[in-house]
Amino acid sequence: MKELWNRTFELFRRRLVLWVPCSLAAILMLGLGKLEKAEIHWLYRLFATRRSVLGGDVPVEDLAQAQHRARMLIFPLGFVKEFLEICLFVVALAATKNLVCMVLKEQRPDTIAAVRGILPRSREILLLSLKYMAVLLVFGGVLILLGTSPLTPERIHEFLLSKALVYGLGLVCQACLAWLLMPAAIRLLRSPDNPTISAQDRRIGTVFAVATSAGALALEHLVGKVETVVVLEEQWEIQALAVVNTIVINMPEVLLFIALSLLAIQEFGKERLLAPESELSWRSQLSGWVRRAREWRGGLI
């Protein structure tokens, strides 16, 4: 596992192109969040006002009914947004794996080609996204039930809503999610002809998922602290800061995607791909010198 950690950090540090799929997914997710807020505002305004015969918009008489009708559309749209976000990150995971293969094979990384290369696995990407959504809904439902049930004592309610416990439960849920979904994720990153997943692969992948989730929570906390002291007036500055913060917070996800890609590649006799780049270069140069020496000796004979 130590070698996998070292190789992951090396690629993360030296190959910024591997950041592109996850960062683009995070930025698109940020855009989806802003679009959802605009949709909610538009729906509330649509159902809470009506056109007056005298011109202009006036509030409806039954505001509670209008809000109820708006929520009936907001909740399904929220589920669609969550599913799209999951799909974006699953696509980013598969594209990162293709980029990692290009880098390790010393090819020029091509993000467009990496995304195009996942098209034959579209069904598997959709299936993994649906599994992730289903498991997330189950865990979310259990936590909501525990936190809001009238059968739960009030002191337990306060304890469940404490920030420290929320973070702790988040990591526990992430560990459970990773353990349940890791086989499907690694199978997606491997060839369809080699779907076998070992218990060690599952355990290592889960450890990486929990560690990167802890890092993401820490970064989110730090970014939140920084945002409280930064004062921006222009709208474009606020939007630019939001994009930068999104990329920073999602850096642990980049590490996770690289690690899972290496873990998937390593399985089928490709240990050479996990060797450091300097070692690969040194070995290739040495083999070239030996080959030329043999050809030179053969010519003398």
- Structure confidence at residue 225 (pLDDT): 82
**88, 29 in Cβ contact below 8 A?**
yes
- Structure confidence at residue 58 (pLDDT): 66
- Tell me the per-residue pLDDT of 164-206, one tens digit each, with 9 for 90 and over: 666 777 778 788 888 888 888 888 888 777 667 788 888 888 8
**26, 219 in Cβ contact below 8 A?**
no
Tell me the domain boundaries of the chain: 2-268
The residue assigned the tokens 């003398």 is 300
Q: How confident is the model at residue 300 (pLDDT cuts 50, 70, 90)?
A: very low
58 against 237, higher pLDDT: 237
**287, 251 in Cβ contact below 8 A?**
no
Within 13 Å, how many C-alpha atoms sit on residue 67's CB side?
4
Is the pLDDT score of 91 beyond 90? yes
Average pLDDT, the chain: 78
Range scoring the smallest mean pLDDT among 10-19, 62-71, 175-184: 62-71
- What amino acid occupies position 124? E
Is the pLDDT score of 278 beyond 50? no
Is the pLDDT score of 273 beyond 50? no
Structure token pair of residue 220: 């989110």
